[in-house]
């Protein structure tokens, strides 16, 4: 069992699993929003001189009806992932695979409720063994306030508590391991807004440097 690779995969889930609101109100959007194209790029906050810089980039699309509800689950550019959707009693399941050497290997199972909110993620190693389990708690506004990670392979439990600003972005996170506070992380966030009062770009400086750019269309 390759413990290092498994640790890297689990850490990546924190950034790969995103909480999506059901309505424009829950996403703090103003006006009659029709669609949003959002490009997110995340880079290291500190880079040593001469070291290579590796950034992650994702693109997400949201579509809304005239009442402000999501028309369908968000479409996400998942790079090389093969995604399969299955209905469940609680909502639906997205299973994400990577394929190489002609073999399709399951990496994630993402569970959503009927309100299109992610409730659980199971992370798999390439050998099919479960590495970790993520469970999520939300506020009444639909914001993810707690993330609990159970590391199956080493028996540790990590809990992340998040605190938000008026825009619905995380400004403070507290990280606990086996019940002990081990880290606090503050985010400095700057915004640019359109004429409707919705942000179209933002920059976040915290554990990483992140940028978001949105193209918003209205009814």
Kindly tell me if the per-residue pLDDT of 150 is higher than 60: yes
At residue 146, the pLDDT reads 96
What is the Cα–Cα distance from 173 to 183, expressed in whole angstroms?
8
- Rounded percentage of the chain residues whose pLDDT exceeds 70: 86
The string of pLDDT tens digits covering residues 43-78 is 987 767 777 778 999 998 889 999 888 776 554 545
Q: What is residue 54's three-state secondary structure?
A: coil
At residue 2, the pLDDT reads 46
At residue 74, the pLDDT reads 52
C-beta separation of 6 from 131 below 8 A: yes
Number of domains forming the structure of the chain: 1
Residue 187 sits at the vertex; the CA angle it makes with 186 and 192, to the nearest 5 degrees, is 160
The string of pLDDT tens digits covering residues 162-195 is 999 999 899 999 999 999 999 999 999 999 999 9
Write out the two tokens for 174: 């507290």
Write out the two tokens for 99: 């394929």
pTM: 0.67
Which strand (E) or helix (H) includes residue 11?
A: helix 3-16
Which residues form the domain of 40? 3-218
């Amino acid at each position: 069992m390759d413990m290092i690779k498994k640790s890297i995969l689990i850490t990546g889930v924190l950034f790969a699993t995103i909480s999506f609101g059901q309505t424009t109100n829950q996403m703090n959007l103003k006006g009659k929003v029709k669609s949003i194209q959002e490009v997110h790029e995340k880079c290291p906050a500190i880079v040593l001189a001469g070291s290579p810089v590796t950034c992650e980039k994702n693109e997400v699309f949201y579509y809304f009806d005239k009442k402000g509800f999501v028309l369908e689950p968000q479409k996400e550019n998942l790079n090389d992932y093969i995604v399969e959707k299955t209905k469940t009693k609680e909502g639906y399941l997205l299973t994400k695979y990577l394929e190489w050497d002609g073999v399709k290997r399951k990496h994630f199972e993402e569970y959503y409720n009927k309100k299109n909110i992610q409730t659980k993620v199971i992370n798999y190693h390439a050998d099919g063994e479960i590495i970790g389990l993520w469970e999520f708690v939300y506020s009444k506004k639909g914001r993810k306030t707690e993330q609990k990670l159970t590391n199956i392979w080493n028996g540790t439990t990590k809990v992340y508590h998040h605190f938000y600003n008026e825009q619905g972005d995380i400004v403070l996170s507290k990280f606990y391991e086996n019940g002990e506070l081990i880290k606090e992380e503050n985010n400095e966030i700057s915004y640019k807004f359109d004429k409707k009062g919705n942000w179209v770009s933002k920059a976040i400086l915290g554990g990483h440097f992140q940028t978001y750019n949105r193209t918003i269309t209205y009814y």
